[in-house]
Amino acid sequence: MIIAVASGKGGTGKTTIATNLALSLKNVQLLDCDVEEPNSHIFIKPEIKTKVPSHIPVPEVDLGRCTFCGKCQEVCEYNAMAVLKDNVLVFSELCHGCGACSFLCPQKAIKEVKREIGVVEIGANGDLQFVHGRLNIGEAMSPPLIRAVKEYINPSKTVIIDAPPGTSCPVIESIKGSDFCILVTEPTPFGLNDLVLAVEVLRKLKIPFGVVINRSDLGNKDTYAYCKKEKIRILMEIPFKKEIAMAYSKGVPIVEELKEYKKEFTKMYEKIKS
Amino acid sequence: MKICVTAQGKTLDANVDPRFGRCQCFIIADTDTMQFEAIDNPNISSTGGAGIVSGQLIFSKAAKVVLTGNVGPNAFQTLNAAGIEVIVGVSGAVKDAIEKYKKGELKPTQNPSVDKKFGMGGN
């Protein structure tokens, strides 16, 4: 079973839920797909055994064969190529690696070369398998690296995916193919606004989901009213506790600091499975 | 000679648009006759690479010089590779800018004047 942990709003507690759930269950693989800012490893403390550089294909033009017909520039959806007089410019940081230019070049003057965008790191802590991606600094496109992380999904395990925040392409890439999605929110106007957006995304993707309300004793009751109206299951509530915040700031998972929470996370997993 | 001015409107009285890739329109004028063509910028809401594709457009119109407010690194590289002279820091009415250029009062830049994504507005 693949369980993704997502949220519309950032900073609601995705990593807290993903890592604590992973530490509460047996036979788990945790994938941190927030490749722009991975932080699950701070709590899991895995030993990284393998590092695999990740690339996207970008065009390289053989100017000897090129007739400057402009086909590549015309088919590039991202304005990553400019055909000018006797030169072709490639703006590789804009290239999404779709391959249209090289495929459609009438002169076969374009070949694909690899450009490194980040690294996938694979490791474990005990029997907890761990994979995450680190996007290179300055890189704008994370979905290809997220795909590379997800290639390591081990279907014989309970797979937990820590997704990036928001509702855009990196989130879709992270959560698609999941059997269930946990949406983490906080009961504030911002939290609710972004929860509503995330719910729309999940309904479109037809992924079953439930909500975890973090810092549940802050804010107001609007999030509860929304969930009731939309018939969305509330899987778990975590109060705003000083002990939890202190443990978090030291990189200590809740289930290690407050052992009774292990039962809560296990219960949540049982609810998801049923 | 053909000259391109980024403009906020489609006449020679319009003000120079301070952006290049995402300006309202391009005015392509003949410096000898002052006849001109005004083109609505098709790249104004491009998701990325607006400077590059606008540079290609100016190249296809055979302009030799661009007068604008600012130009980013990708647009600058494109215009440079196309052999188009770039003059930044231009403001006021389009026709006055062209007159200043004709009198030799405007000097080309050797560097982009702003960083990437400048024309996207605040975020």
Q: pLDDT (tens digit, 9 = 90+) per residue, B5-32?
A: 999 999 999 999 999 999 999 999 999 9
- Determine the pLDDT at residue B114: 84
Bridge-partner residues for A37, per DSSP? Answer: none
Contact B82 A94 (CB under 8 A): no
CATH class of A2-54+118-273: alpha beta
Mean pLDDT (chain A) is: 96
Contact A82 B46 (CB under 8 A): no
Among A84, A87, A94, whose Cβ lies nearest the Cβ of B48? A94
Tokens of A28: 């788990």
| pLDDT grade for B119, boundaries at 50, 70 and 90 | confident
Query: Among A83-97, A164-178, A244-258, which is the least confidently predicted range?
Result: A83-97
The closest of A119, A129, A201 to A167, measured between CA atoms, is A201
- Span A114-124, average pLDDT: 97
User: Measured between alpha carbons, how far apart are the two ends of chain B, in Å?
Assistant: 39
Asked if A66 is an interface residue toward chain B (Cβ–Cβ < 8 A), one would say: no
Among B47, B50, B77, whose Cβ lies nearest the Cβ of A89? B77
* d(CA A241, nearest CA chain B) in Å: 34
Please give the Cα distance from A183 to A5 (Å, whole number).
6
Interface test with A, best of B41, B44, B46, B56 (most A CBs within 10 A): B56
Q: Phi-psi bin for B91: left (phi > 0), alpha (psi -120 to 50), beta?
A: beta
In degrees, rounded to 5, the angle at the alpha carbon of residue A172 between the alpha carbons of residues A167 and A174 is 115
- Determine the pLDDT at residue B118: 79
* Complex ipTM: 0.82
Please give the Cα distance from A82 to B10 (Å, whole number).
26
Q: Which residues of B touch A94 (CB under 8 A)?
A: 48-49, 52, 74
| Domains held by chain B: number | 1
- Determine the pLDDT at residue A38: 97
Cβ-defined contacts of B43-47 (< 8 Å, 24+): B43/A79, B46/A79, B46/B21, B46/B22, B47/A78
CATH class of A63-108: alpha beta
Task: Give the model confidence (pLDDT) of B100-117 as tens digits.
Answer: 999 999 988 888 888 887
- Determine the pLDDT at residue B112: 85
- Determine the pLDDT at residue B122: 53
Count other Cβ atoms within 10 Å, centred on residue A152. Answer: 18
* d(CA A135, nearest CA chain B) in Å: 20
DSSP B106-122: ----SS-SS-TTGGG--
- The residue type found at A123 is G
Contact A73 B56 (CB under 8 A): yes
In degrees, rounded to 5, the angle at the alpha carbon of residue A202 between the alpha carbons of residues A196 and A204 is 105
Contact B49 A85 (CB under 8 A): no
- Determine the pLDDT at residue A138: 87
Q: Is the pLDDT of residue B120 over 80?
A: no
List, in sequence order, every beta strand (DSSP E) within chain A: 2-6, 28-32, 47-61, 81-84, 87-90, 110-125, 128-135, 158-162, 180-185, 209-214, 234-238
Write out the residue range of the structural domain in which residue B19 sits.
Answer: 2-120
When computed from its CA atoms, the radius of gyration of chain B, rounded to whole angstroms, is 13
Measured in degrees and rounded to the nearest 5, phi and psi for residue A246 equal -65, -45
Among B50, B53, B83, whose Cβ lies nearest the Cβ of A85? B83
Tokens of A232: 């969305």
Task: Give the model confidence (pLDDT) of A196-212 as tens digits.
Answer: 999 999 999 999 999 99
Please give the Cα distance from B60 to A245 (Å, whole number).
60
- Determine the pLDDT at residue B117: 77
**CA A249, A167, A270, A129 torsion-angle sign:** negative
Contacts of A141 (CB under 8 A, 6+ apart): A56, A96, A117
Contact A91 B81 (CB under 8 A): no
Residue ranges per structural domain of chain A: 2-54+118-273, 63-108
- Span A86-114, average pLDDT: 94
Task: Give the model confidence (pLDDT) of A27-78 as tens digits.
Answer: 999 999 999 999 999 999 999 999 999 999 999 999 999 999 999 999 999 9
Task: Give the model confidence (pLDDT) of A161-180 as tens digits.
Answer: 999 999 999 999 999 999 99
Read off the CATH number of the domain in which B106 is found.
3.30.420.130
Asked if B50 is an interface residue toward chain A (Cβ–Cβ < 8 A), one would say: yes
Q: Is the pLDDT of residue B3 over 90?
A: yes
Contact A89 B78 (CB under 8 A): yes
- Determine the pLDDT at residue B17: 97
CB B71 within 8 A of CB B20: yes
**Count of alpha carbons within 13 angstroms of residue A24, beta-carbon side:** 24
Please give the Cα distance from A180 to A205 (Å, whole number).
11
Asked if A75 is an interface residue toward chain B (Cβ–Cβ < 8 A), one would say: no
- Determine the pLDDT at residue B123: 42
Among B49, B82, B83, whose Cβ lies nearest the Cβ of A79? B49
